[in-house]
Structure 1
Amino acid sequence: MKIAFIINDHDTEKPNYTTPGLGYAAYKRGHDVYFIGVGELSYASKGHLSVRCKTASEAKFNSQETYFKAVQKAEFTRISSEKLDVLFLRNNPADEIGTRSWAYSAAFIFGEIAMRNGVLVINHPSSLAVAVNKMYFQHFPEVVRPKTIISRDHDEIKAFFKKQKQKMILKPLQGSGGTNVFMMDKKNEHNLSQTIDAISRDGFVIAQEYLEEATKGDTRLFLMNGKPLEVNGKYAMMQRVNATDDIRSNIHAGGKPEAVKMTDQIMELAEIVRPKLVQDGMFLVGIDIVGNKLMEINVFSPGGLNVSGQMYGEDFFTPVIESIEKKVNFKKIYPDYLYNSRLATL
């Protein structure tokens, strides 16, 4: 199997990240693995995807770190969608905001080309195009979401603030990783207009119900093919505990990961979101849970699979690659029959 991973950039991808872990698991299973920065994508005159990429296959690597460092040092080579079996879109568009605006939508646009060339593209690129901002989250059932409004109107947001007893979360419609997320309450109410202005400068503002359980952080759970990712009775999940005096539990924002047990409540939330994720072709996603509500659904490049593996002493990467292998086999058995969106979560 020839599988390629799209990442933001070779220089910013860390060897211990989730995507290099997936690549290393595929490499260990004998597959040809390629890494593509968003800037290396191109469209060839013959109508197919043509990319510059990096790969490492000449030596035997004993760890994910040594493997990916070799990838980063490798010279660029070129491959086309005519030779690929799988294209895994693992870049984060939010990281491009304000720096490389041209890269924001590039991966799923070029992913559509690869899909038309017969490549299995995961997660499904058409759905990713819809999910590129947090409005996608509002399409899931109300029972799993905190009370939310999305607006640029100061009066509307201030009215929501009063309705929420002067305690709410403000964040941008576009973005991730805890960037520009603010908790507003009586203490900083005098900064409310200024905060709305700062966020709305780049688009719409999400005003969201504050959940008291958020003081304990959130729970990140990985779903594969719409179901919790499980190995030997252990789930790919972790509690992300807030840094001191910081409402953000994202690890890159200073949150600390801790082990957490699966509960019936978490399983119920996962089951509620499963039908839409399956319908949308969202193969591998991370859902973030606070109390009995979902705070976010990360469909682009959910991180922490490596952390969960280390925490529970299990390999969560290999089952992901094994699932992709089955999809490639199904595609060969049913040529030109299964839609990419269905195959992605089969």
Structure 2
Amino acid sequence: MHLLFVADPLEIFNPKKDSTLAMMREAQRRGFAVWACEPRNLHWSSGGAPAEGAWVRANCRHVQVLEGAKPWFGEVEHVDRALHSFAGVIMRKDPPFDNEYFYATHLLEQAEREGARVFNRPRALRDHPEKLAILEWPQFIPHTLVSRDLAQLRAFAASERDIIIKPLDGMGGSGIFRLRAAADGSPDVNLSVALETLTDWGRRTIMAQRFIPEIAKGDKRVLVIGGEPVPFALARIPQGGETRGNLAAGGLGVAQPLTAADRSIADTLGPVLAARGLLLVGLDIIGERLTEINVTSPTCFVEITQQTGYDVAARFIDAVQAAIG
């Protein structure tokens, strides 16, 4: 069987920690032929030769994962193929969720109509923006405001006194600010400029949340596969005075068993999200509060496996095999 991974360029993968590569390696170990393309390689046209049909196709690279080699892959062949000819298509393009990502989901959804099996499902990717998807479960999230109104945001900061503000389309901790009122109650000296910058003077919607002190113990990534949580989370612990725990921002990743609160959140959301076509989800939890639902390209496979021995990639490929039948 053949699996196609729609991802970033293979040349920029980090072989030491890339979760997509871990998936590819496990798929190859099980006898799958591993293929890769980028979203820019997807295309559809009508009016061609009748034998070709009007299918969503991609210029794909058939690759072999090489152990301990540089580069980490060898290219077997490079051909144009219809997506429905693969046993499964794994959408692993990293954010940002920009217009090109949006268009790619529509092409992938058309490929589904033509018979392709796509994970995560394209419509589910569009329906679950990673910052805003948490609003469906207010019982699990910190006090939150989503707005572009500067007066509302200032009032929220005054009420909460210690807040985080972030763009709705950021990743890896980019664009996140912590704003704290002074002991006398006066606002953070950077409050106005931070709000004006992130909202572009009220033209862009952002999220503000009550600061969660438990971030000092880590921003936990809980992976949910096929509706069931992986038994270990990766706590991404801020370093060097940072507020952000993201690995991309220098956080230290420490694997740990799920807490009762982690399991409660995962057990509530997991079956619902799986039923919507989200085979793989990454829940971000600080303390006992859900802060984000990652659906585009959840990571931390390698770190959890290396530190605990629990093979996350094997669990994921198990789920893919079960889904494609």
Given the two structures, how large is their TM-score scaled by the length of structure 2? 0.90
1:16-45 Cα offsets, whole Å, 9 max, x none, are 300011011101111111111121111132
Q: Look up the equivalent residue of 2:168 and give its one-letter code.
A: L
Distance 2:22 2:99 in 1: 27
1:277-326 Cα offsets, whole Å, 9 max, x none, are 12321111111111111111111111110111011123221121122112
Distance 2:204 2:13 in 1: 28
Q: Secondary structure at the match of 1:93?
A: coil
Distance 2:311 2:238 in 1: 26
* Alignment-derived partner of residue 105 in structure 1: 102
Distance 2:233 2:42 in 1: 33
Give unmatched runs, 5+ long, in structure 2.
47-52
Quote the offset at 1:68 in angstroms.
6.8
* Alignment-derived partner of residue 82 in structure 1: 84
C-alpha change, 1:36 and 1:132, in structure 2 (3 Å) is: farther
Distance 2:275 2:84 in 1: 27
Q: How does 1:117-196 map to 2 (within 5 A)?
A: 117-139=114-136, 141-164=137-160, 166-186=161-181, 189-196=188-195
Quote the offset at 1:130 in angstroms.
1.8
Distance 1:78 1:307 in 2: 34
Give unmatched runs, 5+ long, in structure 1.
230-234, 330-346
* Alignment-derived partner of residue 215 in structure 1: 216
Given the two structures, how large is their TM-score scaled by the length of structure 1? 0.84
* Alignment-derived partner of residue 54 in structure 2: 47
Q: Secondary structure at the match of 1:183?
A: strand
Q: Look up the equivalent residue of 1:31 and give its one-letter code.
A: F
Alignment partner of 1:4 is 2:4: yes
Distance 2:13 2:37 in 1: 11
**Could you tell me whether the CA contact under 8 Å between 2:130 and 2:294 is conserved in 1?**
no
Report how many aligned residue pairs link the two structures. Answer: 312
**Could you tell me whether the CA contact under 8 Å between 2:238 and 2:244 is conserved in 1?**
yes
Quote the offset at 1:14 in angstroms.
2.4
Distance 2:31 2:301 in 1: 21
* Alignment-derived partner of residue 259 in structure 1: 255
C-alpha change, 1:104 and 1:326, in structure 2 (3 Å) is: closer
Determine which structure has the larger strand proportion and give its number: 2
Q: Secondary structure at the match of 2:22?
A: helix
**Could you tell me whether the CA contact under 8 Å between 1:5 and 1:89 is conserved in 2?**
yes
Distance 1:10 1:102 in 2: 22
Quote the offset at 1:118 in angstroms.
1.0
Q: Look up the equivalent residue of 1:158 and give its one-letter code.
A: R
Quote the offset at 1:133 in angstroms.
4.9
**Could you tell me whether the CA contact under 8 Å between 2:35 and 2:61 is conserved in 1?**
yes
Report the aligned-residue RMSD. Answer: 2.0
Quote the offset at 1:91 in angstroms.
0.8
C-alpha change, 1:319 and 1:308, in structure 2 (3 Å) is: same
Q: How does 1:250-289 map to 2 (within 5 A)?
A: 250-289=246-285
Distance 2:115 2:25 in 1: 24
**Could you tell me whether the CA contact under 8 Å between 1:93 and 1:105 is conserved in 2?**
no
C-alpha change, 1:74 and 1:132, in structure 2 (3 Å) is: farther
**Could you tell me whether the CA contact under 8 Å between 1:89 and 1:107 is conserved in 2?**
no
Quote the offset at 1:75 in angstroms.
5.9
Distance 2:195 2:272 in 1: 32
Q: Secondary structure at the match of 1:55?
A: strand
1:245-266 Cα offsets, whole Å, 9 max, x none, are 1111111111011131222221
Quote the offset at 1:74 in angstroms.
6.1
* Alignment-derived partner of residue 94 in structure 2: 92
Quote the offset at 1:221 in angstroms.
1.2
Q: Secondary structure at the match of 1:105?
A: helix
